[in-house]
């Protein structure tokens, strides 16, 4: 999130700066052009330039324009939006730099990577409906995130379109939409066991790490255990991924599960 922090982390051995927008779990949205500018400045006088790559799984080629934002490589987990069916594991690495493209092709060949024909077929079948699914899940997610932050026991809701979510200004400037994820931090006196009980009480949101499929999913995370930067909120948060179910049903599911948090 902090360009000065990135500048300080770059050393003569740095080869690649890997970017992600928004953060997968805590949904903060970095100032991508500022981060790219840090790398460009560090590349002055270098023989071998540091490359920038963006994990564009969240933007899915819909909400973000990675090359316009200045990155060298855009990567996507096709597992998520392009498949849309939550039934395929696949990825894409894309660049407009011809020399880098040849390097990637050669590496791909040498590693002997390949995808199954059936998997490729599933992704091709999902692609035409991607924009519609993206917009539908975006709208449903914003509605649920806005509703969630009004609920008792909820301290913070993280979603880049919410004005108090970290990086909201950069999101508004650089993104044309938002994916199906939001995260919730509860009041400080809500115990981790209660947060887990909330997840277990959900019926339509199933436990699961993936997202952008038809079924809504939920994962509890212990944030301080997975980051080195300070985390000023309750340690146990819940990330919710909105599927294609009816929004009113999803809201009712969240409402009934929130009852387990009553003091």
Ligand X SMILES: *Cc1c(COP(=O)(O)O)cnc(C)c1O
Tell me: does residue 24 bind ligand X (CB under 6 A). yes
Tell me: does residue 235 bind ligand X (CB under 6 A). no
Q: Strand locations in 64-193, DSSP E?
A: 73-77, 91-95, 154-158, 181-186
Residue 221 CA: distances (Å) to CA of 17, 22, 226, 235: 25, 16, 9, 8
Binding-residue pattern over the window 91 to 130 for ligand X, x denoting contact by CB under 6 A: x---------------------------------------
Compute φ and ψ for 75, nearest 5 degrees: -120, 145
Tell me: does residue 55 bind ligand X (CB under 6 A). yes
Can you tell me which of 16, 41, 68, 89 binds ligand X, judged by CB under 6 A?
89
Compute φ and ψ for 254, nearest 5 degrees: -60, -40
SS3 96: coil
Q: Which is nearer to ligand X, 92 or 139 (CB)?
A: 92
Which residues lie across from 220 on neighbouring strands?
238
Q: Which residue is nearest to ligand X (CB)?
A: 77
Q: Strand locations in 48-200, DSSP E?
A: 51-55, 73-77, 91-95, 154-158, 181-186
Q: Which stretch binds ligand X (CB under 6 A): 30-38, 46-54, 55-63, 196-204?
A: 55-63
Which residues lie across from 183 on neighbouring strands?
158, 239
Can you tell me which of 36, 60, 62, 79 binds ligand X, judged by CB under 6 A?
79
Q: How far is the CB of 208 from ligand X (least distance, A)?
A: 11
Q: Which is nearer to ligand X, 186 or 211 (CB)?
A: 211
SS3 23: coil
Q: Which stretch binds ligand X (CB under 6 A): 52-60, 130-138, 152-160, 220-228?
A: 52-60
Q: Which is nearer to ligand X, 77 or 184 (CB)?
A: 77
Task: Point out which residues bind ligand X (CB under 6 A).
Answer: 24, 55, 57-58, 77, 79-80, 89, 91
């Amino acid at each position: 999130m902090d360009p000065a922090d990135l500048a300080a982390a770059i050393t003569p051995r740095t080869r690649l700066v890997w970017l992600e927008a928004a953060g997968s779990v805590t949904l903060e949205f970095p100032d991508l052009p500022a981060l790219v500018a840090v790398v460009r400045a560090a590349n002055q006088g270098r023989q071998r330039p540091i490359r920038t790559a963006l994990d564009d799984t969240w933007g899915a080629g819909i909400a973000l324009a990675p090359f316009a934002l200045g990155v060298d490589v855009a990567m996507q987990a096709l597992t998520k939006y392009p498949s849309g069916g939550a039934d395929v594991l696949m990825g894409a690495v894309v660049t407009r730099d011809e020399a880098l493209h040849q390097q990637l092709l050669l590496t791909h060949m040498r590693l002997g990577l390949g995808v199954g024909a059936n998997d490729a077929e599933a992704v091709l079948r999902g692609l035409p409906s991607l924009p519609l699914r993206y917009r539908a899940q975006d709208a449903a997610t914003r509605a649920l995130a806005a509703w969630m932050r009004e609920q008792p026991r909820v301290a913070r809701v993280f979603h880049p379109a919410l004005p108090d979510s970290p990086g909201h200004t950069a999101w508004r400037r650089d993104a044309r939409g938002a994916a199906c994820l939001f995260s919730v931090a509860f009041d400080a006196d809500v115990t981790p066991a209660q947060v887990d009980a909330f997840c277990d009480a959900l019926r339509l949101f199933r436990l699961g790490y993936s997202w952008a499929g038809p079924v809504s999913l939920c994962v509890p995370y212990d944030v301080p255990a997975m980051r080195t930067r300070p985390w000023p909120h309750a340690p146990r948060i819940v990330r919710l991924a909105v599927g294609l179910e009816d929004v009113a049903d999803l809201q009712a599911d969240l409402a009934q599960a929130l009852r387990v948090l009553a003091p």
